[in-house]
Amino acid sequence: MPMYIDYSTEAALSTIVTDDFVKSVKRNIGFDPETPTDLLPVDLEELLHECLHICEKEQWRFLLSKSVTLTLPYEAFSNVDGLFFLPFGRVTSITTFSYIKNDLTTGTISSSDYTLYPAEPSKIWASDWAELFADINDEQPYPVTVTYTTGYASYAAIPKSTIRALKILAYHLFEYRDAISEGSVSELPQGYCHLRDLDLLNDHRAVRYIVDDWTKVSRG
């Protein structure tokens, strides 16, 4: 399924990585929390950024806020209950919602035509999608495009188990920073895997249209 994650729209690391978090990570990897970050043997912010991306990939849920573009088949909106589940966590806003018409021009679905339920798993609902997509070009494989923003707004919004998982992962990547193997993180600590999976996005309807593109969760 064509999917595009716009990492250039990713929120700054400082939106969720607070000073307290950085200090606790420093303590966790064996330094005094007051040690200046530039004295550490690794770039701690870079390390945390890597951890966040790895965790995002494996939880199927975005931690740092960013925009996602899904291109979907018409069938995605043909469910009996009229719901379409959006992957990658809580949706803060839908930027564009468009489709290709029969004459190959682009039509837009107005936000007043559907309802967004932001609670996880986020979903959009319309009473009759067939009416909204009346002139859709259903010969094309992926006529519908949805762009939306997901991710946690602040440190406080992230589940504590995910925070703990990130700390364990940061310790692991710091401790084995020169390990060379086929995948850079082929073996991960069990504590991390367990805590990460507590907040796994495991709604099958939400992952249905991204399952081919998105990395499978490693149970290592």
Partner 1 sequence: MNNYNRRSRPNLRHVCEFWTPSTVVTASGELTQEFSLHYRGPFAMEIPRSPNEINDASRAQSEQVFYLLGQWCAPASQITAGMFCVIPHLQKVYAVSGPATDQWGDSRKLKINIIDNVAQPITIQLIPTLI
Residue 30 vs 183, nearer CB to partner 1: 30
Minimum distance, C-beta of residue 93 to partner 1, in the bound complex (Å) = 43
Q: Does 30 bind partner 1 (CB under 8 A)?
A: yes
Which residues is 88 bridged to in the sheet?
Answer: 61
Residue count at the site for partner 1 (CB under 8 A)?
10
Element holding 146 (H helix, E strand): strand 144-150
User: Which is nearest to 121 in space by CA: 166, 73, 59, 28?
Assistant: 59
User: Which is nearest to 114 in space by CA: 93, 129, 133?
Assistant: 129
Residue 24 vs 140, nearer CB to partner 1: 24
| Residue from 40, 116, 207, 217 binding partner 1 (CB under 8 A) | 40
Span 163-182, contacts to partner 1 by CB under 8 A: 178
121, amino acid identity: P
Minimum distance, C-beta of residue 194 to partner 1, in the bound complex (Å) = 22
Taking CA 152 as the corner, what is the angle to CA 147 and CA 157, rounded to the nearest 5 degrees? 155
Q: Does 22 bind partner 1 (CB under 8 A)?
A: no
3-state helix, strand, coil in the chain (%, to 5): 35, 20, 45
Taking CA 159 as the corner, what is the angle to CA 96 and CA 193, rounded to the nearest 5 degrees? 100
Site string for partner 1, 79-98 (x = CB under 8 A): --------------------
Q: Does 34 bind partner 1 (CB under 8 A)?
A: yes
Span 189-218, contacts to partner 1 by CB under 8 A: none
Which stretches of the chain bind partner 1, using CB under 8 A? 29-32, 34-35, 39-41, 178
